[in-house]
Amino acid sequence: MSNENRNRLKYLETSLEIDVRFSETDAMGVIWHGNYLKYFEDAREYFGQHFKMEYLDLYHKGFFTPIVKSEINHKASVNYGEKIRVTARLEKKHAAKIVFHYEVMNLATNKLAATGTTVQVFLGTESRELELMKPDFILEWESKQNWQVD
């Protein structure tokens, strides 16, 4: 294996920290389970800003990227007033889909609170039809990243 291939990343990733607000908790004062999908969305949006591929960029290029599958595995509670770190890892795929993996760490306890995955596809904004091939601008963006395909 060449040094270039050895140094390639399997994932592109970013992390952001979020203070847990009262409105995000249930009657017991812990994060309501449905809010983890919102945290995943926050992490994807931050990822797009960081790597210069935001939702509006996709839209202006003629594509929606709806989620077709989501999964959350709850590991430990997070309470109101604590802080979490949400890490989003984009996995490179040959197929015309976007696969993110997530980790939510409770920074107060240093425990893994949740893991998850989302899968998105490309739909044309005008046709609303599923794209079976990755758009050219995505292939170009991917070629600029230092990562590998599984």
pLDDT band at residue 135 under the 50/70/90 scheme: very high
Q: Is residue 53 part of a domain?
A: yes
Q: Is residue 90 part of a domain?
A: yes
Count up the domains in the chain and report the number: 1
pLDDT at position 2 over 60: no
Q: Is residue 85 part of a domain?
A: yes
**Spatial separation of the C-alpha atoms in residues 4 and 19, rounded to whole Å:** 39
Q: Are 131 and 63 in contact (CB under 8 A)?
A: yes
* DSSP state at residue 141: H
pTM score:
0.90
Report the CATH number at residue 82. 3.10.129.10
Q: Is residue 64 part of a domain?
A: yes
Q: Is residue 54 part of a domain?
A: yes
Q: Could you read off the pLDDT of 84-111 as tens digits, one per residue?
A: 999 999 998 889 999 999 999 999 999 9
Q: Is residue 129 part of a domain?
A: yes
Q: Is residue 135 part of a domain?
A: yes
Q: Could you read off the pLDDT of 138-148 as tens digits, one per residue?
A: 999 998 887 76
Q: Could you read off the pLDDT of 9-63 as tens digits, one per residue?
A: 678 999 999 999 999 999 999 999 999 999 999 999 999 999 999 999 999 999 9
Q: Whose structure tokens read 């395909």? A: 149
Q: Which domain holds residue 28?
A: 3-143
**Spatial separation of the C-alpha atoms in residues 128 and 150, rounded to whole Å:** 29
Within 10 angstroms of residue 85's Cβ, the number of other Cβ atoms is: 15
Q: Is residue 148 part of a domain?
A: no
